[in-house]
Structure 1
């Protein structure tokens, strides 16, 4: 809130632009204003400004009606609509035991009111933003009801994420036990499964359903495992939408996701990856085009980079104009096949039959 106030002050003094607003904050940070020395979060936010979309920053900071709400405030308003807190919408935050030290957990457990306990929990984990689910008629699922729902929940392994015993997730670092976490990882790389099939898998014999869910939630939170509710969606509508989105991305409209029938919704895709996909989208043999049509693909991506204003950066350093063609060639050669396979895996486009 103090940083937001300072940025608003800068905008009023200097004509309302984001550049002028942030200049005041940068200047004060540069001359060691005590606020920034004693509030490292504010200083980190300033350092992140250059990597973020100015439109988002204006939306986030330069709104006079900008009011942050604490969890208890939202819970109180939701209760007026007969809605009660069901849990976090973030899989990583569904594991409160992983976020707290033993002493913190004991202290939080002494708080009788669950709403107050959640708010104190936020202080322990320094959680800045929450994503929560509120429901009407909150009733815990018994094992029988849980098994009914488990028939419709599909999970599978993300081939691009390697297993690591020690994982970092937002505010916490978790060291996983060796026995069941890697077992789940290996199982889901062999095939897609329903949650019901995992419950009945012989690899997890003897575990309670809740224990299996804790292992699965952490795997999803680390990105190792993907999840979908219901059957995989038809590809035709997603194909048409993705063709339009990729075409617009080349003309400078930046999107954060493409339609994924396998995910049953949107899947995040970076701007550069979208431009690479757009250059390959209409090719009848995309894998062969990586080597056969390299010059055409690079020229198309270069035009799109100009349209989007995206600066090509490698290892944190901006690529000079004279090196862009060479660097794009390396990216296509090194990552092109993986990007095609990932896109087919998520259903951004349908897999092509190899040309004979």
Structure 2
């Protein structure tokens, strides 16, 4: 009898992350940058996530986009219990979770057709049969004009690591017991083999670097990445051919950096790429130039190109907001062939303006009259790709979203009293989420409870057996831990709080 897991790791739950590329606002902005029409967000829309994991991304997006109707499935029941429990805590009425296989999910009569279908990573972690079921689902349930976000481990970048992964997986499968312990044994085994000057590791130094890198990463994530029986990094062409069966064509990478070719490719590489007309060959060549190991692709069914003037008008009218406080914005935006300095113009003016309030691109253009329109557009795309700015949703949508986002944030802040798994807030202004640390969540909870913030955080951390760090070292004394929290509270009141208000979280 075949296991319901079908070779997929179910013994250990997946991580509690949030993936901003799955947000409809992000997908639509990327498509706008490419000059393509996207499903409108100022009216009701339908959204589906396949392989939703813990459901944090879908729950947050449902809270931040109450005009949407959200559906999600993951065949690990413990993931869905977590997702449904959180949805009930928030009081969401526009979210529906299932623990179905992809085939069973497609057969549900109550499912609508979808404007958005998203998958993060799962496509390369499953069997060929399950991949085909996903293709069948998309063919059956994607609307005309709808889009698919599909991220996956990619070739050729993964080629250097396949031998290392096989060694780890073979060692895991040869042992019995709790899987994270087996993984640690396998990781140490692989390191020992590398130290014996195995020719594989000598010829693939990137694999040796990866061994060291993953040693400090979440075991829950690594078990899913390295221990699933089915693991198949894919070339872009293979994915295009599969999605063609679903009547979905490749549109653009959801990673805005991939559109900035002159920052990623050498001049001679760019010159060669520009001679290639076939879109699949172009993407394949770009992947070879950059040794791509993870792709974030957007596909569509019947997407309509925008006239160039219509695209420009929409970009001019698009409002942007900072999603990091200005002191947290890095000084550089690293690229393979160049480094963009964010402490120089035009970024100094952009950051200063957005620190004051959200601005449209047209408003920013007035403040940078000598900057070409194309360069301003590129600068804002860098800001969004860097994660320190996001496109803002229409004002009417913000008003409708405040209540559901507040309920989401209250639920997450309450959970911070007993666990530190979810460190996210739903931001009404951008229809998406932002990452925060547990201390900020506890300070928010104290504000909503009307209790002293430092004391609540101190008692919570003490119950959890956690201590703060200062200059990379653990602070041992209770008095110093409390003092550090008091200092953080002052910063929260003077800086973090106003920033959260600007995103309409407070």
- TM-score, shorter chain, exceeding 0.5: yes
Relative distance call for 1:48 and 1:249 in structure 2 (3 A) is farther
1:24 corresponds to 2:218: no
Relative distance call for 1:27 and 1:278 in structure 2 (3 A) is same
C-alpha distance in structure 1 between counterparts of 2:467 and 2:294, whole Å: 29
1:254 corresponds to 2:254: no
C-alpha distance in structure 2 between counterparts of 1:173 and 1:326, whole Å: 47
- By relative contact order (CA 8 Å, sep 6+), the higher-ranking structure is 2
Relative distance call for 1:206 and 1:8 in structure 2 (3 A) is closer
1:192: which partner in 2? 358
Relative distance call for 1:5 and 1:126 in structure 2 (3 A) is same
Post-superposition CA distance 1:32-73 (Å, at most 9, x none)? 322222222222222123322111111111011111112221
SS of the residue corresponding to residue 319 of structure 2 reads strand
C-alpha distance in structure 1 between counterparts of 2:427 and 2:505, whole Å: 11
1:289: which partner in 2? 452
SS of the residue corresponding to residue 133 of structure 1 reads strand
1:303: which partner in 2? 463
TM-score, scaled to structure 1: 0.80
1:4: which partner in 2? 165
Cα distance, 1:325 vs. partner?
3.2
1:240 corresponds to 2:416: no
SS of the residue corresponding to residue 111 of structure 1 reads coil
Post-superposition CA distance 1:83-141 (Å, at most 9, x none)? 22222212222211110111221222233312211122122222221112122234432
Q: How does 1:68-217 map to 2 (within 5 A)?
A: 68-150=233-315, 153-157=318-322, 158-161=324-327, 166-169=332-335, 171=336, 173-175=338-340, 180-198=346-364, 201=366, 203-204=368-369, 207-208=372-373, 210-217=374-381
SS of the residue corresponding to residue 282 of structure 1 reads helix
Cα distance, 1:326 vs. partner?
5.1
Cα distance, 1:76 vs. partner?
1.9
Equivalent position to 1:52, from 212, 217, 242: 217
Contact 1:155 / 1:188 at 8 angstroms: preserved in 2?
A: yes
C-alpha distance in structure 1 between counterparts of 2:201 and 2:460, whole Å: 44
Equivalent position to 1:13, from 174, 193, 196: 174
**RMSD of aligned residue pairs (Cα, Å):** 3.2
SS of the residue corresponding to residue 326 of structure 2 reads coil
SS of the residue corresponding to residue 333 of structure 2 reads strand
Relative distance call for 1:343 and 1:81 in structure 2 (3 A) is farther
Structure 1 residues without counterparts, runs of 5 or longer? 352-356
TM-score, scaled to structure 2: 0.58
Relative distance call for 1:311 and 1:53 in structure 2 (3 A) is farther
Post-superposition CA distance 1:1-46 (Å, at most 9, x none)? 2122111111122225222222221221233322222222222222
Higher helix proportion (structure 1 or 2): 1
Relative distance call for 1:76 and 1:105 in structure 2 (3 A) is same
Contact 2:251 / 2:299 at 8 angstroms: preserved in 1?
A: yes
Contact 1:161 / 1:224 at 8 angstroms: preserved in 2?
A: no
Contact 2:320 / 2:354 at 8 angstroms: preserved in 1?
A: yes
Relative distance call for 1:113 and 1:161 in structure 2 (3 A) is farther
C-alpha distance in structure 1 between counterparts of 2:325 and 2:277, whole Å: 43
Relative distance call for 1:138 and 1:350 in structure 2 (3 A) is closer
1:354: which partner in 2? none
SS of the residue corresponding to residue 66 of structure 1 reads coil
1:220: which partner in 2? 384
Post-superposition CA distance 1:218-270 (Å, at most 9, x none)? 2323344332333335322222222222222332361142212223122123x
